Each structure stands twice: as structure tokens, then as C-alpha cells.
Chains A and B, each alone.
Chain A
């Protein structure tokens, strides 16, 4: 396995090993480019994962201190856990459910399509669906997405059968067991899904695609890529000309190191990535790196989410099998007759008993809560995920007082729902309830959004430098050898799960970056 010198300034240094960073790293390594990935978390392989929600949470979740503000319920229920994402090699691809959907055409043109919505900071992407389509195709092939490339869909579990029966009765047309980056048959050196459940806790059969089981070992096998776990980057440094020169990080032994680099790519997810740019402020860049627009950290999106759980007369055992086992897509369209712009997906979801207790009704107690818990085996569940509006005031800032163990200010996450988000959520709750009532639900719960799993938009793409942080290739407008490679690039969030788009953008970015390096532009 490759080991690169700290003073090797010919390498590309990637901060983060998840969907963006891990994919970018492998794609560059395959092209013969030397890559060092610095990952804040530890390295846990497939056999290390734990089929126990709280134990797994302790193993994988990013629980470093963060603070929150705003009118979202998270600020009250989970004030120091705004996001449920991962600190480990593979990043949140170890935790993701596997749903791999393409954006719709209009979702790249939200300002044009939705108009000037008050309180929303809408902007068209500088790229179109047509431009991204070839990369979506590459990503689907790479990840082995079911329902694409002739790969059969997964069988539906009990939870999906309830969802689909209700959807059919309601007259919905587009529902199936999903486009999932989970092997339905052996593929790419990995086995097929054993319907274990616990997809959020790291797949113990290796059937689910993650950068941990796919991109990273492939990249390492080239001899061009080194992954350093336990390496927390504190700062990106630059020279007098403004070009970045490398990063300062704390290694696994707790020792401060400086890794030189030709290019730095930030892929720490949409809370840590802007935090790192802001924490890298210097006399030349007093507002943080790549922040001449003032947009770093702004336009934080987390998707309109919520869940509907329903109780039936007879057992469902929703937790058996893949966590996200199917989808209803009929409401994903943009149709303002429903009272909001954009759309949403309905996807099955289940939680185990311990997490159900924590998340069904945070803060709930007494007989109504206890009786709901006793209904657990008879419950079916779905997650509602839809486009939320980017807002300049929904943002990541540096906390004025709280510091991490290295003395760096922690991220503070402010979020207020836009009226459009609220209208969409209410519609989704109503439709979710209708699906379950159509097949005999006796009790239905509207569950408030969990800590955010889809974090997007805080270093957004824009055509003009004044409107965003990065260009159409994820290259920062201000510093040509500094890139952003994760979901923080998203100009808008679309209705669907973000990972396929993050991977597609990373494949495209690698191609572009390699060309720029070859032409000595960076």
C-alpha cells in the first residue's frame, strides 16, 4: 500500500473518505494521480460492524460537539446532534441506506422553475441533467444500482409489501423496491443481500456499496492512494499568491502534522466542509477560504423530512430485511396545485426498538408513548424525503465559544423551515397516512425529522462567483487548486437521496481535475 511523504507536494490531498472523497480518490488513483485521503474517523471493516443500534452509533457516528439554533425541533430535542452522519473510513456511505436516484431535469433549474420565492435563496445549477447523465450512468454501473444496467431489483420485505399495497389502493403508479446500491445478486467481488436489516449500522454482508468496500480498496490497490484514518484536518494553508499549499492535521497519535499538496479537495460533509474553510481564515482571506461571495456555510439544506409510522391489527416486523426496501415516487413531481414547489419521495424505513424509543416522538412519555412502543411489531414505517428551500440564513457558522479538543471553534448549525418545507411536509404526512389507512392502519404517527442525514448546499455551485463557492466542477471560484467534492456543492437539494449525485459529481470532478493537472493549470 502506498505511503506518501508529508513534504510530497505533488499529491492531491482529500479531506474525507465518504461518497465524495472516497470516489474522487479512487478515480484519481486509477488515472495514476497520487492521492492522500485524510479521514477523521477510524477504519472499521465489514466484519467489525455491529448489529446493535446504540453500540453501532458509538462506533460510527460523528458525535464531536456541535451546537444548534433556529426554530427546528432538533435544536430542542438533540441540540448537540444536528446530523446523524459518520466519522469513519467510508464516511456516511457506511451508514446510508443505498437509495440511488437521479435528480429530475427541473431540479437543476430551481430558480427558473420555481421563480423568486420569498425567503428562499434559489439558484439554477451551472450544470444540467443532460450534462450529468453520462456520469449518473457511470455511477450506477460502479455502484451496481438495482433497476439499472440489467441488475434485478431486490425482493420487497414486509414493510415494502404494506407500502406497496397501500400505494396501489390509493391509485399511485410509480412504486417499486427501489434503485438501490445493494447487490441483488453477487457482483463486483461482493455477495448479495441477506436481508439482514441494520443497513444504517454498516452492512455486515458487504452487499451494500460503500466507499469502504469498493472505492477505497480499489484505489489502494493501484499503489497511488494512501488513506490515513484518525486524521482530523484543522486548517488548509496557502502561500502569498493565494494558492493552497497543504493542510495541517492531527494524526492518529494526536501529533500535529503538515501534509503538503498540489491540490486540496474538501469532502467532509456539509457541516465540516464549510467549518474547515471558515477555520482556515488568514490575513489574506479574513472571512475564510473561498468565501469572497460570503456564501460559505450558507444555504444549508437537510431535505424536508419526516416519517409516518402506522400500527396494524396484525404483525408486520418492519425491521426484517433492507431498511429502505421500497419507494413511492408519484409525489416527486413539481406540481404547485398541491400548495408547494418541488416534490417528495416516500421510502420505507424502519428503526429497531432502541432507536424507535429515541426518535418516534422525541421527549414523549407516559401511556400514549408506552402504548405506541408496545405496538412495535405491528408497525410499518416510511420516510418522507423532499426538496427543502435553500435559505441564506440557514447556515453553518463557527461557534463563538465552543471549541473542539484541538482548540478549533466547532460548527454551529442554524435552521428554520421555509413555509414551503412545512406545506410539503404536511402534504406528505397526509399522503403517508392515507397509504397506511388504505390497508387498515388503526393508529398513525407523524414523526418529526431525525437529526439530518442528508446535509447539503453549504458550499454551493454557481455560474457566477458572487452567487456561490464553487464552479460547475466543484473548483472554488477564488482558489484554483482548492476543490469541494461532497454534497455541500449542491445548489439545490432535489426530492431524492443525494448520494448518487455526489458520486456522479466526484467522477466528473476527477476527470476534470486530472485534465487540469495534465495541462498544468493547477
Chain B
């Protein structure tokens, strides 16, 4: 049957596409990982670079897909900076990150949330704030802003729009070939 590759190649194409959408995001992302020093974090208008980087780390921890480059998470989080143009939202993000950092210090002796090495330890901190408005806003935004990025759909085996390609009538709508016979 016709399957959708999870192409490593597409990583580069997606990477280039994303970097057009978020100009500051791309070039440094690979070099420094998720860090306040990254150009995309430095470019934030309303959030601090540290807050921006913490949110991107949170995004990876909330929807951890190891086959996705950081750029997809940076793109998914771009909206948070825009939302923070609103003073109330800005305060919510700032306090949310500050609380996570305080918990990181108290429970793991870490400098902040970002510097906790193990995902499992960070996830425990997130679980503790799961019902907060801050976490809710971050998660409910990400579930759209991450999975609605067209250039990552193929990596999940999803082919997107179909009418423009004539539907699936000649493109494998019934090509399953591994089912056991009844």
C-alpha cells in the first residue's frame, strides 16, 4: 500500500519553510538549542528571552516528539509573545514561568526550569500546575499551533488537503493489504 514516509529530508524543507515564517528562529536554533541566548528568544517583543525559552521548553515537554526539530516548537510558541502584548497575559506568562523556576529550585536544587536535565523531572513540575490557567493557556494554544503546522503533517503520516489532488479515488483509499482474511 502507498505509505507516507517519515522523511528525514522533509526536516530540512520544513526547517527552511519555518525559518521564512519566523525569520529569527532558524539559524541559531540548531547551535544553542532551547536557550535564552537563541536569536528567536532574544527577538521576543513582550516576553523576556528567558520566558520565551522556558515556554519553548515547556512546549517540548507537553508534546514531546523527538522526530521534530526545535524550530517547530519555536514556531508553535510564537503566538505567546504576541499574546503578551496584553498586560494581563504578559503577567500570567511571567508569573507562570517564575513559579516553575521557583519550584525547580525548591524541588530539584536547579537554577531554573530550563536547567533541569531530565524530562521526567520537568514533567513532574508541569503536572503540579496542570490545572492552572497558565498551563491551560499554554497547552490549549499548542495543541493547535503545533499540530496545525502543515510542514510537519507528513512526519505524522498525514497527507493534508486532497480535493486539489483529485481525492484518493486513485491514490490509495482502499489499498490496505495486510488484513487477515475473515
A residues contacting B by CB (< 8 A) are 49, 51-52, 54, 155-158, 161-162, 164-165, 168-169, 193-198, 204-205, 313-317, 319-321, 352-354, 356-358, 363, 365-367, 369-370, 373-374, 376-378, 439-440
Given contacts A49-B163, A439-B179, 11 further A-B contacts (CB under 8 A): A155-B174, A156-B174, A196-B167, A197-B168, A205-B167, A313-B178, A319-B158, A321-B168, A321-B173, A354-B148, A374-B156
Given the interface contacts A161-B179, A165-B179, A358-B143, does A353 sit within 8 Å of B153 by beta carbon?
A: yes
Which single residue of chain B is at the shortest CB-CB distance from A377? B157
State which of A157, A193, A194, A377 has its C-beta within 8 Å of the C-beta of B166: A194
Question: How many whole Å from B140's CB to the nearest CB in chain A?
Answer: 8
Q: How far is the CA of A376 from the CA of B171 in the complex (A)?
A: 18
State which of A162, A168, A195, A204 has its C-beta within 8 Å of the C-beta of B169: A195
State which of B4, B63, B123, B169 has its C-beta within 8 Å of the C-beta of A377: B4
Question: B171 near A320 (CB under 8 angstroms)?
Answer: yes
Binary contact track B144-182/A, C-beta < 8 Å → 1, others 0: 101110000100111111111011110111111011101
Which single residue of chain B is at the shortest CB-CB distance from A167? B182
Chain A contacts of B62 at CB under 8 A? 365-366
Question: A367 near B64 (CB under 8 angstroms)?
Answer: yes
Question: How many whole Å from B4's CB to the nearest CB in chain A?
Answer: 6
Chain A contacts of B163 at CB under 8 A? 49, 51, 194, 196, 198, 204-205
Question: A195 near B156 (CB under 8 angstroms)?
Answer: no
In the complex, 26 of the A-B residue pairs with CB atoms within 8 angstroms, ordered by the A residue number, are: A51-B161, A51-B164, A155-B174, A158-B176, A161-B174, A162-B179, A169-B182, A194-B168, A195-B173, A204-B163, A315-B3, A315-B157, A316-B176, A317-B157, A317-B159, A320-B162, A352-B160, A353-B156, A354-B144, A356-B147, A365-B62, A366-B123, A376-B156, A377-B158, A439-B180, A440-B180
Q: How far is the CA of A367 from the CA of B172 in the complex (A)?
A: 31
Question: B139 near A317 (CB under 8 angstroms)?
Answer: no
Question: How many whole Å from B135's CB to the nearest CB in chain A?
Answer: 9
State which of A164, A320, A356 has its C-beta within 8 Å of the C-beta of B172: A320
Chain A contacts of B161 at CB under 8 A? 51-52, 198
Chain A contacts of B143 at CB under 8 A? 357-358
Question: How many whole Å from A215's CB to the nearest CB in chain B?
Answer: 23
Question: How many whole Å from A71's CB to the nearest CB in chain B?
Answer: 18
Question: B1 near A315 (CB under 8 angstroms)?
Answer: yes
Q: How far is the CA of A363 from the CA of B64 in the complex (A)?
A: 15
Question: A353 near B147 (CB under 8 angstroms)?
Answer: yes
Chain A contacts of B168 at CB under 8 A? 157, 194-197, 320-321
Question: How many whole Å from B49's CB to the nearest CB in chain A?
Answer: 25
Binary contact track B83-119/A, C-beta < 8 Å → 1, others 0: 0000000000000000000000000000000000000
Chain A contact residues, majority secondary structure: loop
Q: How far is the CA of A315 from the CA of B143 in the complex (A)?
A: 24
Which single residue of chain A is at the shortest CB-CB distance from B142? A365
Chain B contact residues, majority secondary structure: loop
Which single residue of chain A is at the shortest CB-CB distance from B158? A353
Question: How many whole Å from A122's CB to the nearest CB in chain B?
Answer: 38
Q: How far is the CA of A321 from the CA of B169 in the complex (A)?
A: 7
Question: B174 near A376 (CB under 8 angstroms)?
Answer: no
Question: A195 near B167 (CB under 8 angstroms)?
Answer: yes
Question: A369 near B176 (CB under 8 angstroms)?
Answer: no
Question: How many whole Å from B118's CB to the nearest CB in chain A?
Answer: 13
Q: How far is the CA of A370 from the CA of B143 in the complex (A)?
A: 11
Question: How many whole Å from B133's CB to the nearest CB in chain A?
Answer: 13
Chain B contacts of A169 at CB under 8 A? 180, 182
Question: A357 near B169 (CB under 8 angstroms)?
Answer: no
Chain A contacts of B160 at CB under 8 A? 51-52, 352
Which single residue of chain A is at the shortest CB-CB distance from B140? A363
Q: How far is the CA of A52 from the CA of B173 in the complex (A)?
A: 18
Question: How many whole Å from B54's CB to the nearest CB in chain A?
Answer: 16
Question: How many whole Å from A349's CB to the nearest CB in chain B?
Answer: 15
Chain A contacts of B144 at CB under 8 A? 54, 354, 357-358
Chain B contacts of A164 at CB under 8 A? 182
Q: How far is the CA of A316 from the CA of B4 in the complex (A)?
A: 11
Question: How many whole Å from A195's CB to the nearest CB in chain B?
Answer: 4
Q: How far is the CA of A363 from the CA of B135 in the complex (A)?
A: 11
Question: B176 near A161 (CB under 8 angstroms)?
Answer: yes
Which of B146, B159, B162 is packed against the most chain A CB atoms within 10 Å?
B162
Q: How far is the CA of A54 from the CA of B178 in the complex (A)?
A: 32
Which single residue of chain B is at the shortest CB-CB distance from A315? B3
Q: How far is the CA of A194 from the CA of B156 in the complex (A)?
A: 24
Question: B1 near A370 (CB under 8 angstroms)?
Answer: no
Question: B162 near A197 (CB under 8 angstroms)?
Answer: yes
Q: How far is the CA of A366 from the CA of B147 in the complex (A)?
A: 14
State which of B147, B167, B176 has its C-beta within 8 Å of the C-beta of A354: B147
Which single residue of chain A is at the shortest CB-CB distance from B155? A374
